[in-house]
Structure 1
Amino acid sequence: MPQRKIAQAEMPLADHAFYGLVWAGTVLTERVDRALGKAHDLPVSWFEVMLWLASSPDPVPASVLGNSAMLSRSQVSRVVDALQGRGLVTRTPSARDARSVEVALTAEGRRLFAEADATRRDCLAPVFADLLDRADLEALSAVWRKLKAHKEGGAAGPA
């Protein structure tokens, strides 16, 4: 006899909403990981670190990078090692703190990031951006900001 699934109506709203976030994050991340791996030999964890670096005009202290990425500090360190091994990032001693290093994308890292970011957008468009309207995206952004602000102990700000 086939197993039945719990219908949405049987699941409390908060549980369904949480499950939906987990499901969407898992499915979309796996999709991006496959696309980036196939097109650029670039795991999604590497892409995430590159995303933070690409969004900063200046080199990023390794500790800040570790606090920003959705990876553990040891994972960030391993990713930076791998990226440096491929010539995609540099590590330089910090001018502000002799005990720390700063990480920056190389020219090759910026080039690869731009290509990988286009791949990410293309692979997500049909299953995310093209399905959602501006109000949907704003609502998701408001939820993300609210959850993140609570984690960081701050105010959620305007929705």
Structure 2
Amino acid sequence: MPKKKLPPAEMPVADHAFYGLVWAGTVLTDRVDRALSKAHDLPVSWFEVLLWLASSPDPVPASVLGNSTMLSRSQVSRVIDALQSRGLVTRTPSTRDARSVEVALTPEGHRLFEAADATRRECLAPVFTDLLDEDDLRALSTVWQKLKANKDA
């Protein structure tokens, strides 16, 4: 006998939308984490730091990484330590703030990021990007930007 579930109509739309965001984030993150770990020995948290570093033409202050990622500052610090031990990033004293360090990808870090990003895109395509059109993707981007902009409200 199949398990009975409530149809979405019996749930307030705001609750259904919230649950959908949580579900999608959890399922997609888990899928990407498994694919990156298997193909590159790279947890999704490490990939997130690489993604932000790869998107910046200049070294990034560690504090900015902490503010940009979904990781805590201590998690960012541990990820940077792990990435540095694998030769994927460098840490240098900041020229603007003597108390800060800046992080940049090494050539090996760029190579790994490119390969891992291809893996991420390939693993998401059948369950995300191939299912959504440009308008859907723009709408999702707008939604998360609104939510993120007001996260401290």
TM over 0.5: yes
1:23-80 per-position Cα deviation (integer Å, ceiling 9, x unaligned):
0000000000000001000000000000000000000001111111100000000000
Match of 2:26 in 1: 26
With normalisation by structure 2, the TM-score equals 0.96
- Give the whole-Å Cα distance in 2 for the aligned partners of 1:139 and 1:78: 34
Matches within 5 A, 1:63-102: 63-102=63-102
**CA deviation after TM superposition for structure 1 residue 13, in Å:** 0.2
Q: Secondary structure at the match of 1:35?
A: helix
Match of 2:104 in 1: 104
What is the RMSD of the two structures over their aligned residues, measured on CA atoms? 1.3
Match of 1:157 in 2: none
- For these two proteins, the number of residue pairs brought into alignment is 153
**CA deviation after TM superposition for structure 1 residue 152, in Å:** 5.9
Q: Secondary structure at the match of 2:87?
A: coil
- Give the whole-Å Cα distance in 2 for the aligned partners of 1:46 and 1:84: 11
Where do 5+ consecutive residues of structure 1 fail to align?
A: 154-159
**CA deviation after TM superposition for structure 1 residue 3, in Å:** 4.8
Match of 1:156 in 2: none
Q: Which amino acid aligns with 2:8?
A: Q
Match of 1:16 in 2: 16
Q: Which amino acid aligns with 1:140?
A: L
Q: Percent identity?
A: 82
**CA deviation after TM superposition for structure 1 residue 145, in Å:** 1.5
- Give the whole-Å Cα distance in 1 for the aligned partners of 2:64 and 2:152: 14
Matches within 5 A, 1:94-133: 94-133=94-133
Q: Which amino acid aligns with 1:150?
A: N
Greater RCO (CA < 8 Å, at least 6 residues apart): 2
1:91-149 per-position Cα deviation (integer Å, ceiling 9, x unaligned):
00001111110000000000000000000000000000000011111111111111122
- Give the whole-Å Cα distance in 2 for the aligned partners of 1:2 and 1:141: 36
- Give the whole-Å Cα distance in 2 for the aligned partners of 1:118 and 1:152: 33
Q: Secondary structure at the match of 2:90?
A: strand
- Give the whole-Å Cα distance in 2 for the aligned partners of 1:78 and 1:55: 20
**CA deviation after TM superposition for structure 1 residue 2, in Å:** 6.4
